[in-house]
Amino acid sequence: MRISAKLSLVIFLLLGSAIAHATPQLPIHADYVLKVFGLPLATTRLSFEVEEDNRYTYSVTSKPAGLAKLFRRYTVVEKSTGRIIDNKLYPDRWSFIFDEGKNPPTQFLDFDYKGMKITGQYKGKDVYLPIINNAIDRAITQPTLILDLQSGETLFEYFVADRKKLKKYQYQSGEVERIKTKLGELDALKVQRMKDGKPHRTTLWCPPELHYVPVRAEHREGGLFYVLEITGIDWGDGTSLTSD
C-alpha cells in the first residue's frame, strides 16, 4: 500500500472526521498529531463549514511530520460535501486528493439517494455501489457517530462507502474515564469499534464537555500502534483551545 493511502486509512480509522454538527457552538477547526510508537507521523486539520441552506463542507487535511517529512512531502486532502437533514449528514460527493506525483489518480464518489446508488472512480477505475441503510462516505463516519452520541445512543452501526467497497462499522460507548490530553485533563466517554461483539482495534475518547469531539484515538494494526491526539480546537465564536 502506498504511504499516502496508508496514512489516510489510519487517520480515517482513528478519526476520519470528528467535528460535524449543525449548531454553531461546535468547532469549525480541530488540529491533531498522529504518532506511531510515540513518534510524530503526521499533522491533521479537520474543518467543517455549514452554509445557510444547510449544506456542509467537511475536509481532512494531513501533512507528514517529524522524520516522515524526510521521505514524503505530500499533502492529503479528503473532502465530503452534502446536506444536513434532521440533524443527519447526507453526502453528495466524497473526494480524495494527494499531491504526490504530477498526475494523481482521480478518486471520488457521488451519492444518489433517490436512485439508491453510489458511483464514481477509484484509482482510475469505475465504482458502482448500492446505498444500504442510508450509507455514508468514510469521511463523515465520526461526525455521524458524534451526532448519535449527542442524542444519547450507545450502540451504532453504519454502512460506509470506503473507496471501492461498502463496509459495515459498529461502535459501542462505555464508561467515562479521566484522561490527560494536550488541552488538560478531561472526563471522556470511551467509544470502541466492535466486531463480532468484541472490541476491535480502534478506541476513541470523547468528552461530553467538548460535545463528544474526540481528543484521543488509538488504533492497532499490523503490529503497529497509532495514537491521534488533539492539539487545538476553534469554536468559531472567538473561543479556542490550544496545547501549551
Distance CA 177, CA 196 (A): 24
Judge whether 177 and 188 are in contact, CB under 8 Å: yes
pLDDT tens digits, 145-187: 888 888 888 999 999 999 889 999 999 999 999 999 999 999 9
pLDDT band, very low/low/confident/very high, at 225 (cuts 50, 70, 90): very high
pLDDT recorded at residue 16: 45
Asked whether residue 81 carries a pLDDT value surpassing 80, the answer given is yes
Mean predicted lDDT score pLDDT of the chain: 84
pLDDT recorded at residue 18: 47
pLDDT tens digits, 7-46: 555 555 555 444 444 443 456 889 999 999 889 989 999 9
Helix, strand or coil, per DSSP, at residue 4: helix
Q: Give the C-alpha distances (Å, rounded to integers) separating 119 from 94, 107, 123, 130, 140.
A: 10, 11, 13, 9, 18
Judge whether 134 and 91 are in contact, CB under 8 Å: no
Q: How many residues does the chain have?
A: 244
Asked whether residue 107 carries a pLDDT value surpassing 80, the answer given is yes
Asked whether residue 6 carries a pLDDT value surpassing 60, the answer given is no
Closest C-alpha among 63, 120, 61 to residue 94 = 120
Q: How far is CA 176 from the centre of its chain?
A: 21
* Residues 6+ positions from 186 with CB-CB distance below 8 Å: 178, 179, 205, 207, 209, 210, 215
Closest C-alpha among 65, 56, 3 to residue 26 = 56
Asked whether residue 241 carries a pLDDT value surpassing 90, the answer given is no
